[in-house]
A and B are shown apart, each in its own frame.
Chain A
Amino acid sequence: MIKTWELDLNFRNEILNEPGGAHLSACFQCSTCTIGCPIAEIVPSYNPRKIIQMSLLGMREEVLSNPDLWICAICQTCTARCPQDVRISDLLAAIRRIAEKDAEAGKLKIDSVRPLFEKAFLHQLEKYGRLFDMGLAMEFYKGKEGGSFIKGQLAMMKDFKDFGMRMFKKGKMGPKAMFPEKVKKTEEIKKIFEKVEGK
């Protein structure tokens, strides 16, 4: 049962105002997004149609705390097929950002490690202007292990020992992979992050 008295009628506006969330209200619940979704094939509970409906109804808490928010592969199958031009991949990303803001404000606990991964990725990008795989993995694993650098490195080595050796043997993880490749004008990249992310 939906507790109508607990609905947050402003939730749809919150999403609509977030970049990427603009097409939310065009959804007429046809389920095309969910029927063709490769994640829904594997995870039976996964239902983007339902997440959109709950968002439109104002079920803010239920939507933001739904663990399925974090398993979209952004493959764009739903977006490509939506007859109403709802950009579902972008929309779910907008909802994830709202959840992350709530989490940062201490109002929500997110179990998924995806926000940690994305933050670590963007952090590399902000510092170097390009992706530094090794730096990303080190920062991500540190975050996953509660901020402990040592524990993070041990967990990373355990997960990536075989993979690392395999890549090393093929010359894909040689000296070039150990150090970040940087853009020359890092100040231009810093400016982008400062202005867009308000840093």
Chain B
Amino acid sequence: MSEKKLAYHPGCPSATTAIEQDMSTKAVFEKLGIELAEMEDWNCCGAAEAEDPILVYALNARNLAIAEKDGLDIVTPCSICYYNLARTDKALREDEGLRAKMSEIDDSLNYKGTIKARHILDVLVNGIGMDELSGKIEKKVNVKVAPYYGCYIGRPGETAFDDPDDPDLMDKLIELIGGENVQFSSMKTKCCGGPLMMTREDIAFEMARKVLESAKNAGADCIALACPLCGMMLDAKQPDMEKKLKITIEMPVVYITQLLGLALGIDSNKLGFNKNIVSTKEILGKVI
């Protein structure tokens, strides 16, 4: 990849609930020699809760404008941040009237459309690329993985960077690190229920249960993810789900950057493996 420096939009859960994703993202990019410069004064993208598109555009025009000033593309580890940043970029590029409307709200929303917003998964596989990554692999991570993509990686079409029905960017990384992808295609892109966690826990738990049990039935040692809300739902809430639904799942859930980091020879504590809720000890035992 030609860019050696990217503007990093960590997203709101990066210092708390998804700290292991933040740690492993930083560690992996450092190892790959690409500087992640945290964006000065970034703001929340509005997540799934800002439902008015104009509000989403305004919030993200501010973020895009901040990175544009430094002439850097934005990279984010969160699928929802990615979706909101990317759809705002697209809408503002295509609609001069909308750009004017943003500037009218405040000068800080004055975005010209000269940079891109990307998801870390996209940067790793399509930006840096498999050739460059393969030259840096130091260890074999001999795990069976259920690669779980969730919602905003393969859809909607306007911002997607992978296939909507059978995405494979994570599959490729798992193969690269010496892991095995289990049969999981039918669940890869099914929503984890995260957005309904606080308002309809019953539905959210049922959605998450399907994902977790499919991974278990497919013989996976762990699920790999690329979104902090999926992490919250599938990992942090897993014990609550087990209690409520009276089932045992015990499925480790890790971020793809954590697995990749192990293969790059990075220390597991630096990758936040002691932060995942469901124990990851067995995974660490499979690094050769």
Contact = CB atoms under 8 A, between A and B. Distances in A.
Contact of B206 (A42, A97, A140): A42
B156 A183 contact: no
B51 A97 contact: yes
Interface of B: 12-13, 15-17, 19, 41-44, 46-55, 58-59, 62, 104-106, 108-109, 151-152, 154-157, 160, 164, 189-191, 193-196, 198-200, 203-204, 206-207, 236-237, 239-240, 243, 274-277
Q: Which of A39, A73, A130, A173 has the most CB of B within 10 A?
A: A73
B155 A73 contact: no
Assign chain A's interface to a size class: 35 or more
A109 interface: no
A93 B105 contact: no
B191 A195 contact: no
A166 interface: yes
A167 B42 CA distance: 25
A42 B275 contact: no
Contacts of B17: 133, 167, 172-173
Contacts of A163: 236-237, 240
Nearest to A195: B105
A196 B51 contact: no
Contact of A162 (B15, B43, B240): B240
A42 B203 contact: yes
A38 B52 contact: no
Interface string A32-60: 00000011001100000000000000000
7 contacts: A73-B193, A73-B204, A133-B17, A162-B243, A163-B237, A170-B276, A188-B106
Contact of B106 (A113, A170, A191): A191
B146 to A, nearest CB: 17
A198 to B, nearest CB: 11
Contacts of B46: 122, 125
Interface stretch (A23-31, A76-84, A147-155): A76-84
Main secondary structure of the interface of A (DSSP, over half): helix
B175 to A, nearest CB: 26
Interface of A: 19-20, 38-39, 42-43, 70-71, 73-77, 79-81, 87, 90, 93, 96-97, 112-114, 117-118, 121-122, 125, 129-131, 133, 140, 162-163, 166-167, 170-173, 176-177, 181, 183-185, 188-189, 191-193, 195-197
A182 to B, nearest CB: 10
Given A73-B195, A122-B50, A167-B17, A130 B44 contact: yes
A188 B240 CA distance: 39
A6 B31 CA distance: 66
Nearest to A181: B15
A189 B43 contact: yes
Nearest to A173: B16
A19 B98 CA distance: 12
A18 to B, nearest CB: 9
Contacts of A185: 41, 108
A38 B105 contact: no
A197 B6 CA distance: 32
B41 A112 contact: no
A121 B45 CA distance: 12
A196 B55 contact: yes
Contact of A118 (B51, B155, B194): B51
Nearest to A89: B156
B157 A192 contact: no
A188 B288 CA distance: 50
